[in-house]
Structure 1
Amino acid sequence: MPAALDRIRVGSAPDSWGVWFPDDPQQVPWDRFLDEVAEAGYEWIELGPHGYLPTDPARLTDEVVRRDLKVSAGTVFTGLHRGPSVWESTWEHVRQVAALTRAMGARHLVVIPSFWRDDRTARILEPPELTAEQWAHLTRGTERLAHRVRETYGLDIVVHPHADTHLDTETHVEHFLDATDSDLVNLCLDTGHYAYCGGDSVKLIQTYGERIGYLHLKQVDPEILADVVNNGIAFGPAVQRGVMCEPPSGVPALEPVLTAAQALGVELFAIVEQDMYPCAPDRPLPIAQRTRRFLRSCGA
């Protein structure tokens, strides 16, 4: 039997049910997601895109409690590299999500940088590389956001490196970590996105362990990824091709990642996310059930 990963709190998210947007006819209804994530054996969930789950705290509390679920985090998208001009609009979005996240008893806010390439149309929105000034805006703006979120809502932010954003590769992630205050800014390490962009999750955990504040568990299909990279395919169309695949058929192997995370000696959420937008409504539940069984076989 594998060693018990008793510091790892496993959960899932609307993303694993093909949910990317607050409202989309291709997505499963929110109540079906809650029913099925509980049926699959998960205890923890994320809120997903703001507005997908009910935003009234009393109603949402009733919905999750009666399914024996708890909320681990909310998620926001930001474009802080654009500088002070976007601060007010960013905070307006963040405060809504942070207020609901706190009301649900969660302690984390996952912060995802904005896309330089549209994840639905593949249209180029911005250059893929930041200037030195934009890097400064990103790092200082993230610290400012972390401080205000902590002071106002008592939450810790965890920044999520993501494909087709400016925070993606090992070089970019290490630059970001080295340029930000470890007391304020830590990472949500998404194993799938990091592999998608050429990174090694175990190496990152072992090198920057004190900066790993949260995990997303995900795998990529290496053959599909090779085609995606060779042909410059955007993230959205890559997902439709199945680049994010069901564990344990892809990379990185999750057992070493979980073992390395356990060795940090701190409690960490490990939230399963298998990007599947769009997908047939009957597809997510069997995958979620098999994935939960697989993670139990790893000790989680």
Structure 2
Amino acid sequence: MAGKLSSMTSSARSLHRIRVGSAPDSWGVWFPDDPRQVPWQRFLDEVAEAGYEWIELGPYGYLPTDPARLADETARRGLRVSAGTVFTGLHHGPAVWEETWAHVSAIAGLTRAMGAEHLVVIPSFWRDDKTGQVRESSTLTARQWRDLAAQTERLGREVRERYGLRIVVHPHADTHIDTEENVARFLDATDPRDVSLCLDTGHYAYCGGDSVKLIETYGERIGYLHLKQVDPEVLAGVVAEDLPFGPAVGRGVMCEPPSGVPALEPVLAAAQALDVDLFAIVEQDMYPCPPDRPLPIARRTRRFLRSCGA
């Protein structure tokens, strides 16, 4: 027994640089207001009950946007905020800057007021995640790549200078920053002083990437983690049918750990080896979902991550 306890203690100590949390996404929340989503009070109650201490804001307007009220609601449940999230279409160049900044500034202000230090930046979708309607080409021109890099760097500087936050760009299915090739191209084109990466293990696997390889290759660019797994059998059907991301989620492509890929233990070990403090926020996409489904999954996932030492 003593040897087993010693091994468990050593495992737990090995991931001491990783701070685990969860997000509204793991409760089926994709929109500020939707009758199919659980009320925000229930999300806060249940995420705390599941054993998490850190949360993200989720879609702006889902949680209270008054900093004093949100601070009270989170504090009395023993919760703290790790990041806010914004959506951008910066490959469209300077023409969309003012509109982008109007969206970003309100969220950045609330994020900073809650004591967080990160802003997750998600690129715009090239096709509608519900209907599958193609909005634009799935590939960028050379000019669009230059605009994406330059405008993202500008966003990183402005957010840092005005709000003291660091942006972490989130590769995402059905966006232009998705595959291993496109993620590498984006990182190579941007200044690490201004732009870091939010590695979402599920989205990266969905798009064919290897999370451990990415961490080992671009370790200095990894600023944040989203922990997620993909069901490979469901994914095979999604790819074969060329399903948009929304219907793929409805089919269950993102699954409960540890039943999918990638294995999270090697990802966490590779992240720990960077020897920097990192948030690892659980995000199991399952919109929409029955209101009683998220909490049991969240409890089991938290127990699983503890068994990994996180």
Q: TM class, shorter-chain normalised?
A: over 0.9
Report how far residue 85 of structure 1 moved: 0.9
Look up the match of 2:104: 94
Runs of 4+ residues deviating >6 angstroms: none
* Partner Cα separation in structure 2 for residue 233 and residue 190 of structure 1: 20
Structure 1 residue identity aligned to 2:195: V
Work out whether 1:48 is the aligned partner of 2:58: yes
Percent sequence identity is: 79
Which structure 1 residue ranges, 5 or more long, are not aligned? none
TM-score, normalized by length of structure 2?
A: 0.96
Structure 2 residue identity aligned to 1:89: E
* Partner Cα separation in structure 1 for residue 12 and residue 81 of structure 2: 26
Preserved CA contact (<8 Å) 2:12 2:306:
no
Work out whether 1:67 is the aligned partner of 2:80: no
Work out whether 1:110 is the aligned partner of 2:115: no
Look up the match of 2:198: 188
Look up the match of 1:76: 86
Report how far residue 84 of structure 1 moved: 0.9
Work out whether 1:273 is the aligned partner of 2:277: no
Report how far residue 237 of structure 1 moved: 0.1
SS at match of 1:73: strand
Look up the match of 2:138: 128
Look up the match of 2:213: 203
Which structure 2 residue ranges, 5 or more long, are not aligned? 1-7
Residues 133-282 of structure 1 aligned to structure 2 (within 5 Å): 133-282=143-292
Report how far residue 238 of structure 1 moved: 0.2
* Partner Cα separation in structure 1 for residue 182 and residue 95 of structure 2: 23
* Partner Cα separation in structure 2 for residue 84 and residue 8 of structure 1: 36
Preserved CA contact (<8 Å) 2:90 2:123:
yes
Structure 1 residue identity aligned to 2:255: C
Post-superposition CA distance 1:53-96 (Å, at most 9, x none): 00000000000000000000000000000111110000000000
Post-superposition CA distance 1:188-214 (Å, at most 9, x none): 000000000000000000000000000
SS at match of 1:123: coil
* Partner Cα separation in structure 2 for residue 276 and residue 29 of structure 1: 16
Look up the match of 1:293: 303
Report how far residue 257 of structure 1 moved: 0.1
Alignment: residue pair count: 300
* Partner Cα separation in structure 2 for residue 219 and residue 53 of structure 1: 26
Report how far residue 32 of structure 1 moved: 0.3
* Partner Cα separation in structure 2 for residue 24 and residue 197 of structure 1: 28
SS at match of 2:266: helix
* Partner Cα separation in structure 1 for residue 145 and residue 107 of structure 2: 25
Work out whether 1:11 is the aligned partner of 2:21: yes
* Partner Cα separation in structure 1 for residue 147 and residue 125 of structure 2: 16
* Partner Cα separation in structure 1 for residue 209 and residue 152 of structure 2: 22
SS at match of 2:161: helix
Post-superposition CA distance 1:210-239 (Å, at most 9, x none): 000000000000000011011101100000
Report how far residue 3 of structure 1 moved: 4.7
